[in-house]
Amino acid sequence: MTERACDDCMARSWLLGRLSGHLENVRRRIEYVLALDDDALIKAVAGRKTAHLEQEFGALDVARVRARANVAGIETLCRCDPAYPQGLRALSAPPAVLFVAGGLERMVDLLAEDPVAIVGARKASPYGLDVAASLGRDLAVAGLTIVSGMAYGIDSAAHAGALDAGRPTVAVLPGSADRPYPPGGRALYRWIIATGAAVSELGPGTSVRPWMFPARNRIIAALAAMTVVVEAGERSGSLVTARLARGIGRPVGAVPGRVTTPQAAGSNELLATGACVVRGPQDVLDHLFGAGERIARDPGRLPVPVELRPLLQAIAEGRETRDALARAGFDPDHGLAALAALELEGFVIRGPGGRYRVAP
């Protein structure tokens, strides 16, 4: 396994894991607290255990910390190494060590040029999931690395979109890189590390705690050349990622959502406060590289047959059921066959209650 982390940085990473329970008490100030040096960090959060932890830290055997990573199959890269992702250096507290599953050199290569973070709601709408998967697929096909947090909903859909297109993706995990989080994402985790990488600032075996999510979000924001929020409620963690991205001068985009949809309240608010409107991959490419400098490539979908275009247009206009289409003048028997053709070709998606929607 590749080890590119100095003793001081490995010791710092151990300290974060050792203090993880104490850090939970200061999670609302986690960005500030993580910027403290080792001695100040212990004094700030350890309370009555300060003296004990100072002694334990002073006697730390770093070789045992390295061995634990090796046993878990995890590679390491510290902020002292020239290959450390440059975007992370914009943070007030860059991770001391990146623990990597899937391949350290692969991760370095994937993060070298203009990664895009796609994040959003865990309880996403079907529309949001479709858009996230489509953006992940099309931006990956355009040559950009998709970065996200592997959470249920938008994050997982973005990863899956890139992977479905045969492109690698990078997941930033709140806990250790050797374990999928959420645990129900084992299949997606295996898929990600087969061609891409899973990354964490915490060593193997560290249990997940709530403070780790905003800490993880700062890493996503700093790794990405641009952060795109697909859906986000008013208190979504994705808004934290957007705020952190703005704080270090990175562009933020958001996908417009229905004003009556709770999942879109936060993302629509981002648009109201100056986020770039993202209607598709071309908006992201134009914002990053200049209008028309890079063109989103067609991922391989065939053109819509001429005879099916009126039906597809009717669905796009909100006639989402067979009854609604019949009332709009589409022959029921012919319409049923045409709907099946559109669905088989991937132009529409059938949802609950027999409602159809246009695929992104």
Question: What's the CATH number where 311 sits?
Answer: 1.10.10.10
Residues of the chain scoring pLDDT < 50: none
For residue 65, being part of any structural domain is answered with yes
For residues 214 and 310, membership in a common domain is answered with: no
Q: Residue 332: its pLDDT value, please?
A: 64
Task: Give the H/E segment covering residue 349.
Answer: strand 348-350
pLDDT digits over 16-54, tens only?
Answer: 999 999 999 999 999 999 999 999 999 999 999 999 999
Task: Give the H/E segment covering residue 228.
Answer: strand 226-229
For residues 15 and 123, membership in a common domain is answered with: yes
Domain final residue, candidates 289, 319, 345:
289
Q: Residue 167: its pLDDT value, please?
A: 96
Q: Residue 276: its pLDDT value, please?
A: 97
Q: Residue 298: its pLDDT value, please?
A: 65
- Residue 281: other Cβ atoms inside 10 A: 26
Q: Residue 23: its pLDDT value, please?
A: 97
Q: In terms of residue numbers, what domain contains 343?
A: 306-358
For residues 238 and 320, membership in a common domain is answered with: no
Q: Residue 279: its pLDDT value, please?
A: 94
- How far is the C-alpha of 16 from the C-alpha of 38, rounded, in Å? 9
Q: Residue 112: its pLDDT value, please?
A: 93
Q: Which residues make beta-bridge pairs with 148? A: 171
- Amino acid 46 reads A
Q: Residue 333: its pLDDT value, please?
A: 63
For residue 153, being part of any structural domain is answered with yes
Residue 270 belongs to domain with CATH number:
3.40.50.450
Q: Tell me the average pLDDT of the chain.
A: 92
Q: Residue 302: its pLDDT value, please?
A: 62
For residues 114 and 226, membership in a common domain is answered with: yes
The answer for residues whose C-beta is within 8 angstroms of residue 74's C-beta and 6 or more apart is 1, 99, 100, 101, 176, 177, 178, 203, 204
Q: Residue 325: its pLDDT value, please?
A: 75
The answer for residues whose C-beta is within 8 angstroms of residue 345's C-beta and 6 or more apart is 301, 302, 304
The strand pair at 75-78 and 3-4 is best described as: parallel
- Amino acid 129 reads L
CB 119 within 8 A of CB 263: no
- Residue 200: other Cβ atoms inside 10 A: 29
For residues 214 and 103, membership in a common domain is answered with: yes
Q: Residue 113: its pLDDT value, please?
A: 84
Q: Residue 330: its pLDDT value, please?
A: 74
Q: Which residues make beta-bridge pairs with 276? A: 253
For residue 121, being part of any structural domain is answered with yes
State the pTM of this model.
0.87
- How far is the C-alpha of 191 from the C-alpha of 159, rounded, in Å? 10
- How far is the C-alpha of 149 from the C-alpha of 200, rounded, in Å? 10
Structural domain count, the chain: 2
CB 122 within 8 A of CB 134: no
